[in-house]
């Protein structure tokens, strides 16, 4: 057991930092306030990711036969950490390289791989994730958006909600219902967002422009070949994808960076002398570092080729605790940060407050921990 990065890993981290330093524009911090799903950041990401791809830093963790550098999960972690601390200049494209690409590779047809993987590797595509519905949030398996196969085409009707990036995405990774069998009746369809019958409505939010949408599907028709995996295979595929996604965003690193930034501001104005402020800051740091090591323990399992199980939910909940603590620290001791004094801390706050909601609610993580880590007898249904 050792907790040091190797020299190569340190060099890799430095390479990314140098790249960011050279390629992020002046005033980037203020700009990143727009949020990863905003039109402004999405447009920036479209050129940034092309440059990132040219430098071999868009998907270096992918295996060589997928065009990657064959670097491991630790390098993916380092890449994600540095990007997220920098305000995620890849915008929504982080999803492509974290889970959409690997999921396409594992479950896609040859035609789907040919169509979708290359734009991802060029840094040119943006996906959205059509999962939640007005009546199917944490209870995802109750989703009702229906896909009916007729004459070799799926006709889709229904509504999705909370869909990040929907306003600008090219393709939707869409969960649909093809039979009434609860989990086994769900099927994934890859739907181009310019297909007639799709209407996107943005919902103004606390977490930045362009982040939350409703998406309506009215007789949206796609060929049968747009189905991803078999009919009824969605639950298995999504479980695979979400395990990657839950590890995907190293939120604890941004929380820690935001905490350091807040402390620096407090010190600058001579306010980091009060004991209760110092103790609270240390408590936040411990939560961030605890979440970090818990996450690294999960990455280790991936490095060792072991199945990642419910411990990723525990690591994720630790991250939620850290995010909450840092957000509350800033609001209590630096309220002006969210009112213009620190674009970076505002950016953190807007990303941090969603930590317990996005990619499966914190309460669902607690359910998973109770059943699968602690192995408590299950609740009656």
Partner 1 sequence: MQLALNDDQTQVLDFVEALARPFVSAPLHDAGLALESAELDAALVENGFLDVMAVEELGPVTAALVVEKLARLPFAVEAAVSALVRPLIGPDLPRPLCLVEEGRLSAPLRFLRPGATVVVVGPGGVNSFTASEDMIAPAQEDTLYAYPVAFLKGVPGDVTMHDADPAEVTRAWRVAMAAEAAGLLGAALASVVTYVSERKQFGRPLATFQAMRHRLAEAQVVTNTAYWLAMRAAASGTRADAAMALLHAQEAARRVCYDYHQFLGGMGMTLEHPLHLWTYRLKLLTAELGGRGGQGLAAAEALWG
Are the beta carbons of 127 and 92 closer than 8 angstroms? yes
Are the beta carbons of 202 and 213 closer than 8 angstroms? yes
Q: Which residue, 139 or 181, has its beta carbon nearer to partner 1?
A: 139
363 binds partner 1 (CB under 8 A): yes
Instruction: Give the nearest distance from C-beta 332 to partner 1 in angstroms.
Output: 15
CA dihedral in degrees (18, 23, 29, 34; nearest 10)?
Answer: -140
1 binds partner 1 (CB under 8 A): yes
Instruction: Give the nearest distance from C-beta 75 to partner 1 in angstroms.
Output: 11
Instruction: Give the nearest distance from C-beta 234 to partner 1 in angstroms.
Output: 26
Q: Which residue, 234 or 288, has its beta carbon nearer to partner 1?
A: 288
13 binds partner 1 (CB under 8 A): no
Q: Which residue, 111 or 376, has its beta carbon nearer to partner 1?
A: 376
279 binds partner 1 (CB under 8 A): yes
- Nearest CA to 69 out of 37, 97, 99, 38 is that of 97
Residue from 296, 308, 328, 357 in contact with partner 1 (CB under 8 A): 296
Within 10 angstroms of residue 132's Cβ, the number of other Cβ atoms is 17
Helix axes 39-54, 7-23, angle to 10 degrees: 130
The stretch near partner 1 (CB under 8 A) out of 24-32, 38-46, 137-145, 368-376 is: 368-376
**Site map for partner 1, 56-95, x if CB under 8 A?**
------------------x---------------------
CA angle at residue 110 from 107 to 112, to 5 degrees? 70
The stretch near partner 1 (CB under 8 A) out of 25-33, 212-220, 296-304, 326-334 is: 296-304
CA angle at residue 356 from 82 to 301, to 5 degrees? 55
Residue from 11, 114, 203, 286 in contact with partner 1 (CB under 8 A): 286
CA dist 194 and 332 (Å) reads 45
Contacts of residue 264, defined as CB under 8 A and 6 or more positions apart, other chains included, come to none
122 binds partner 1 (CB under 8 A): no
Report the DSSP beta bridge partners of residue 223: 153
268 binds partner 1 (CB under 8 A): no
| Residue 308 DSSP label | P
- Over the range 207-233, which residues count as b (16 or more CB within 10 Å of their CB) and which as e? bbbbbbbbbbbeebbbeeebbbbebeb
345 binds partner 1 (CB under 8 A): no
Element (H, E) at 104: helix 101-107
Q: Which residue, 74 or 99, has its beta carbon nearer to partner 1?
A: 74
Rg for the chain, CA atoms, rounded: 21
Instruction: List binders of partner 1 among 302-341 (CB under 8 A).
Output: 304, 311, 314-315, 317-318, 321
Task: Tell me which residues touch partner 1 (CB under 8 A).
Answer: 1-6, 9, 74, 260, 263, 267, 272, 275, 278-283, 285-287, 289-291, 293-294, 296-297, 299-300, 304, 311, 314-315, 317-318, 321, 363, 365-367, 369-370, 373-380
């Amino acid at each position: 057991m050792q907790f040091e990065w190797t020299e190569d890993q340190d060099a890799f981290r430095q390479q990314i930092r140098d790249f960011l330093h050279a390629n992020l524009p002046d005033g980037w911090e203020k700009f990143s306030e727009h949020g990863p799903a905003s039109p402004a950041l999405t447009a920036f990401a479209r050129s940034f990711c092309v440059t990132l791809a040219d430098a071999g830093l868009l998907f270096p963790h992918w295996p060589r036969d997928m065009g990657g550098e064959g670097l491991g999960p630790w390098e993916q972690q380092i890449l994600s950490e540095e990007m997220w601390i920098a305000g995620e200049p890849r915008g929504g494209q982080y999803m492509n390289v974290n889970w959409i690409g690997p999921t396409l590779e594992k479950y896609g047809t040859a035609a789907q791989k040919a169509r979708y993987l290359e734009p991802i590797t060029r840094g040119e595509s943006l996906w959205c994730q059509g999962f939640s519905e007005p009546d199917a949030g944490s209870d995802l398996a109750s989703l009702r958006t229906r896909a009916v196969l007729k004459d070799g085409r799926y006709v889709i009707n229904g509504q999705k909600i909370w869909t990040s990036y929907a306003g600008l995405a090219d393709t939707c990774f869409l969960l649909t219902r093809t039979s009434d069998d609860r989990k086994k009746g769900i099927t994934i369809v890859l739907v181009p967002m310019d297909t007639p019958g799709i209407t996107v409505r943005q919902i103004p939010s606390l977490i930045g422009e362009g982040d939350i949408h409703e998406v309506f599907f009215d007789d949206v028709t796609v060929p049968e070949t747009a189905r991803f995996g078999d009919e009824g295979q969605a639950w298995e595929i999504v479980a695979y994808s979400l395990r990657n996604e839950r590890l995907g965003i190293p939120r604890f690193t941004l929380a820690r960076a935001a905490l350091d930034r807040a402390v620096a501001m407090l010190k600058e104005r001579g306010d980091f002398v009060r004991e209760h402020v110092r103790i609270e800051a240390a408590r936040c740091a411990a939560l961030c570092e605890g979440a970090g090591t818990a996450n690294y323990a999960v990455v280790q399992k991936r490095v060792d080729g072991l199945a990642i199980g419910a411990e990723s939910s525990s690591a994720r909940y630790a991250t939620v605790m850290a995010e909450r603590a840092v957000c509350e620290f800033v609001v209590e001791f630096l309220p002006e940060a969210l009112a213009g004094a620190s674009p970076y801390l505002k950016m953190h706050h807007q990303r941090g407050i969603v930590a317990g909601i996005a990619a499966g609610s914190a309460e669902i993580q607690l359910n998973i921990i109770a059943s699968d880590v602690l192995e408590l007898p299950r609740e009656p249904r």
